[in-house]
Amino acid sequence: MDAIEPNIAGLAVFTALWTAACLGFLVLSGMFPVRPVGARKAGGGTLVALNSLLWLTLAAGALAYGYEHLRLTTLVVVSGLVLLFAPAPFELLPPSFRDGRRGLATLVVLQGAALAVWLAVPGGGAGLLQLIV
């Protein structure tokens, strides 16, 4: 495996982050341009906006982490495979969960946890934020 990708831990972290970003994309893609009936209730628009912000941050962070810690070929292949197979678990979710406020609230938690992991791992977001500041 070292001949393909020597940084297995970095590969696992990137795969988890990118999977969360892909699932977030699938949920959010159903919310634009018009939200489904389940997400139109009070607070639905706020959840969509918050999730969109978290998704953009998570996708950028995952790609930055992958670019920094993985070989470019590994980054392209793994991100493509995750993007290809992410709809499978998404389709298993009930429609009320995919298109409602409960799903959006869960997505906030999932993306928040993924961003916390990105900030906590060595060489992740905390190091990047220190370079910016």
Q: How high is the pLDDT of residue 99?
A: 75
Q: How high is the pLDDT of residue 33?
A: 66
Range 1-29 burial, b when 16+ CB lie within 10 A, else e: eeeebeeeebbebbbbbbbbbbbbebbbe
Categorize the per-residue pLDDT at 54 as very low, low, confident or very high, splitting at 50, 70 and 90: very high
Q: How high is the pLDDT of residue 39?
A: 63
Phi, psi of 99 (to 5 degrees): -115, 15
Distance CA 115, CA 109 (A): 10
Q: Which residues contact 30 (CB under 8 A, 6 or more apart)?
A: 36, 98, 99
Of the listed ranges 34-38, 41-45, 72-76, 104-108, the least confidently predicted one is: 34-38
Instruction: State the average pLDDT over residues 39-56.
Output: 82
Helices and strands counted in the chain (H then E): 7, 0
Residue 60, pLDDT > 70, answer yes
The pTM for the full model equals 0.83
